[in-house]
Amino acid sequence: MNPGLLVVISGPAGVGKGTIVRKMLEKDPRFVLSVSATSRSPRPNESEGKSYYYKTREQFEEMIKNNELIEWVEYCGNYYGTPRDFVCDEIKKGNVVILEIEVDGALNVKRLFPDCVLCFVIPPDFEELEKRLRGRGTDTEEAITRRLARAKEEFKYLEEYDYLILNDCIDNATERFFSIIQAEQMRTKRNQSLINRFKNI
């Protein structure tokens, strides 16, 4: 009664989705984070297979050609994408694969995996999002303005998602994300073999 599941989590920069995902991974060993492939160079604190799978541009383009990625984007001159094998293997094992990606990628994944679950993390309001971005102290004023403009763009796609997760506080938001996964694993459409067992009594 714990079918494997592919769950996408999106949301504007600063909304706290990274923290929610980290807390989720601590809750249950069956929750696994999909590691992306990228053509950009590793940063000092990053490691192969944990932060990213590092590829040359040529290797990455080969992966695209061979249909080894379920979604990919080119961003600031580097490729980023989600390797198909990892996702499919983990779902088959009955694990819950969490994918933290942007709106475009999320909609592509939904087309390829109609059974996946799309979650979007929202802030209590726009002012709070702005406050959080400034609070991080990592972005220039120009970057903050760009991120907020991007957030407004992303909000236009809210209806394409299955669930909204309000992040008023990290623990509540994590609890909400957990409930969604628990509930989705109980959906009849994901438990056909169990149903067959009861129907054939």
One of 31, 122, 167, 174 touching a second copy (CB under 8 A): 122
145 binds a second copy (CB under 8 A): no
143 binds a second copy (CB under 8 A): no
In the bound state with a second copy, the residue whose beta carbon lies nearer, of 53 and 157, is 157
Q: Read off the tokens for 71.
A: 């979604």
170 binds a second copy (CB under 8 A): no
Per-residue DSSP letters for 72-93? EEEETTEEEEEEHHHHHHHHHT
CA distance 18 to 11: 10
Contacts of 31 (CB under 8 A, 6+ apart): 24, 25, 95, 96, 98, 181
In the bound state with a second copy, the residue whose beta carbon lies nearer, of 63 and 117, is 117
In the bound state with a second copy, the residue whose beta carbon lies nearer, of 69 and 173, is 173
Q: Which stretch binds a second copy (CB under 8 A): 50-58, 82-90, 99-107, 148-156?
A: 148-156
Q: Read off the tokens for 38.
A: 């990228």
In the bound state with a second copy, the residue whose beta carbon lies nearer, of 73 and 144, is 144
CA distance 87 to 147: 29
How many angstroms separate the Cα of 75 from the Cα of each of 34, 89, 117, 149, 196?
Answer: 19, 27, 25, 17, 46
Q: Which parts of this chain interact with a second copy (CB under 8 A)?
A: 1, 120, 122, 126, 152, 155-156, 158-159, 161-166, 176, 178-180, 182-184, 186-188, 191, 194-195, 198-199, 201
